[in-house]
Amino acid sequence: MTEASYTVEGMTCGHCATSVREEVSELAGVQSVDVDVESGRVTVTSDTPLAADAVAAAVTEAGYRVVA
């Protein structure tokens, strides 16, 4: 298992967190996605390391932006 954290800009509520969680969860190998709206942190646990650009694209699809 691999864990990676990202900072996502623009999330303000539970609906935001759900949107990000659903999009990132669709990536192959993702086991879990933890979203903390207050800090903007998204932590992804996966079978193998994920490409950062794939995670960023999923976050963008949800309507937000990875900033770090």
What confidence tens digit (pLDDT) does each residue in 32-58 have? Answer: 999 999 999 999 999 999 999 999 999
| Counted domains in the chain | 1
What percent of the chain has pLDDT above 90?
99
Q: How many Cβ atoms are within 10 Å of 33's Cβ, its own excluded? A: 21
Cα 16 to Cα 10: distance, rounded to the nearest angstrom: 8
pLDDT of residue 60: 98
Domain interval for residue 6: 2-66
Verdict on whether the full-model pTM lies above 0.75: yes
Q: What is the CATH number of the domain that holds 21?
A: 3.30.70.100
Across 4-14, b (16+ Cβ under 10 Å) vs e yields eebebeebeee
